[in-house]
Structure 1
Amino acid sequence: MKSFFFKKKKYSIDSNGVITRKSHSNIALIKYWGKHKNKIQIPSNSSISYSLGEVYTVTRLSYEIKKRNFSLRVFFSGKEKTSFIPKILEFFHRISFYCSYLRDFNFIIETYNTFPHSSGIASSASSMSSLALCIMEIEKKLVSSLKKDFLLKKASFLARLGSGSACRSIYPGLVVWGSHQSIKGSNNLYAIQYPYKIHPIFTKMVDTILIIDETPKKILSSKGHQLMKNHPYAKERFKNANKNMDRLISILKIGDLQEFGKLIEHEALTLHAMIMTSRPYFIWMKPNTLNVLHNVWDFRMQSKKNIYFTLDAGANVHLLYPIQEKKYIIKWIYSDLFFYCKKIIESFCL
């Protein structure tokens, strides 16, 4: 299947240009945590996520025909970031077989987020996917016959080689990555939009993000994935994640909010349990993360409202609930939870 994205065509490189693309972060409901050994960015289990409306990265890619040596400059929020260059060079190296034209240009990358970088809100997902979309726009200029479906599919394929979850950020809505026997078209090389019926209640979900800690994580997600290779509970985790995907398919169809909430909270806590039982072990949650989780449980029991949490690989908390209940819930969030966080990001599921 990889050869599908490789074109032997000799490109005619004859112009410079600037491309700007936006890509949204995503929040996984079924978590991707762990990769196949000796393979680049191949997940050990399938995952599914919502793309998030107000949480995104904008990337401006300037390219000019290379005259001598290759050069790359990277700017983040207006400041030059030489520390970002090694990761981007590794990304370019991985995708060069599929995008040979990259060798003919010098690049300047200017990017910014609407949310804190490296704090556990999938900044690598939105940044790598926006860069992949820029690169595919270059390819579209070189091969005018490219169809939109192919462009997005290859962008997802490329984004995965920069950051696994980035492949899911190419598309809006519910997006699946990783081969699963119950989901037609799912595969390990690129993401697909969820292909089955979704109850209307799940098409208008709110995601309010509580920023507990804005500082970059001391242990990055890439390191956490590596620790799954010899994790004593890894095999059982991968098996349960795929079983949970089957459960979620049914839940999404019938619109069972309570079962949806139980499942995503269990997935979030399972992810952090794997982190805390790795060798070496570590904890991303902060005291206020736990304070928020307990408050959500108490509020839900008392109010009977459908508000549920999920966590990514960090201390910050995503609160998911149907838009029909937003007025009551958002008021409670600001009155009772604002004390525990640095800021609140009001977003929604695309």
Structure 2
Amino acid sequence: MKSFCYRKKKYSIDPNGFVTKKSPSNIALIKYWGKHQNKIQIPLNASISYSLEKVYTETRLSYSMKKRKRNLSIKVFFSGKEKTSFTPKILEFFHRILFYCSYLRDFNFIIETYNTFPHSSGIASSASSMSSLALCIMEIEKKLVFSLKKDFFFKKASFLSRLGSGSACRSIYPGLVVWGRHQYIKGSNNLYAIPYPYQVHPIFTKMVDTILIIDEKPKKILSSEGHQFMNNHPYAKKRFKCANKNMEKLISILKIGDLQEFGELIEHEALTLHAMIMTSRPYFLWMKPNTINVIHNVWDFRIQSKKNVYFTLDAGANIHLLYPIQEKESILKWIYSDLFSFCKKIIESFCL
């Protein structure tokens, strides 16, 4: 987007400094899986997610002005240790955004970051890390452009985040966030995310998300690779059509507050995502035996208790349990008594 391009040459900024930003992970209700070939991070269907409290990345971006222009200079530290394996992806991200943030060429950078949850395990760590980094970059731009408007700040942060990790663009905003053009969602587009613009029933504004960590290890196949397997997937077109239809259904569900329809829809979306993963070429499986055990326990408990607890998964083995805050006490008690044995750890969070 040319309107995001910035080419100011003389800066009124301290030559050395740092900025710090925190950004949440998010859990998609309608899943983004598959992107246009030969285009950078453009989704093939619209998606919507909740941003999550207590599940976040905090990033400190230190900068020092160069005496002369050289290649991009970036060091990356994760949880206090230099992480050279992260550097190529960060460099690729910086190169992608240089046209929109040309001032980055004039600084050396040190990135120090940590998560409150395991990275690369299917809890959208790239979403929170890239969005927090994009927010840091925009904070530097704010120092350079005093007239930067708040709306533009977040819109461009979302735009930049997308170029690092598609779902990262949704982590810029709290609450329900939409990314990807959908004919029934005003303002939705493929270049950046927007806060969900329509009426939401109060029941969906106070949802709990309890995350069951089934497997803490980094995934053998990362989401960025998995997206590529959709390019020649025999069921891809049907999947994109189904996802957009589910988004249309969700608009009505969110308005009227139908928890049962909400739960059935997000579970269907999660299982559809994993069905696409299992039927791609090459095919693979992110679910673990305890993922299946938890899913069956959720179904049984829901029938017996009549409680409104529903699961969803992103691209990994770990499970998110979503339920209204009004039912938190009894459901949380059941989670610790019946599901704890299937998990490495449990993270209690809320949908922001």
Q: Give yes or no for TM over 0.5.
A: yes
Per-residue Cα deviation, 1:291-350 (whole angstroms, up to 9, x for no partner): 000000000000000000000000000000000000000000000000000000000000
Per-residue deviation, 1:3: 1.2
* TM-score (norm. length: structure 1): 0.99
Is 2:8–2:103's contact at 8 Å kept on the other side of the alignment? no
Per-residue Cα deviation, 1:133-185 (whole angstroms, up to 9, x for no partner): 00000100000000111000000000000000000000000000000000000
2:49 aligned with 1:49, yes or no?
yes
Name structure 1 gaps, 5 residues minimum.
none
- Give the partner amino acid of 2:274: H
Name structure 2 gaps, 5 residues minimum.
none
1:65-214 → structure 2 map (5 Å cutoff): 65-68=65-68, 69=70, 70-214=72-216
**Partners in 1 of 2:109 and 2:303 — Cα distance?**
54
**Partners in 2 of 1:159 and 1:174 — Cα distance?**
17
**Partners in 1 of 2:65 and 2:94 — Cα distance?**
16
Per-residue Cα deviation, 1:268-304 (whole angstroms, up to 9, x for no partner): 0000000000000000000000000000000000000
Aligned to 1:338: 340
**Partners in 2 of 1:333 and 1:149 — Cα distance?**
40
Secondary structure of 1:206's match? strand
2:18 aligned with 1:18, yes or no?
yes
Aligned length: 349
Aligned to 1:323: 325
**Partners in 1 of 2:9 and 2:170 — Cα distance?**
30
Secondary structure of 2:39's match? coil
Is 1:128–1:159's contact at 8 Å kept on the other side of the alignment? yes
2:30 aligned with 1:30, yes or no?
yes
Is 2:96–2:163's contact at 8 Å kept on the other side of the alignment? yes
The structure 1 segments of at least 4 consecutive aligned residues displaced by more than 4 Å after TM superposition are: none
Secondary structure of 1:334's match? helix
* TM-score (norm. length: structure 2): 0.98
Root mean square deviation of aligned Cα: 0.8
Secondary structure of 1:346's match? strand
1:192-341 → structure 2 map (5 Å cutoff): 192-341=194-343
**Partners in 1 of 2:157 and 2:16 — Cα distance?**
21
**Partners in 1 of 2:7 and 2:318 — Cα distance?**
45
**Partners in 1 of 2:145 and 2:9 — Cα distance?**
10
Per-residue deviation, 1:49: 0.0
Aligned to 1:3: 2
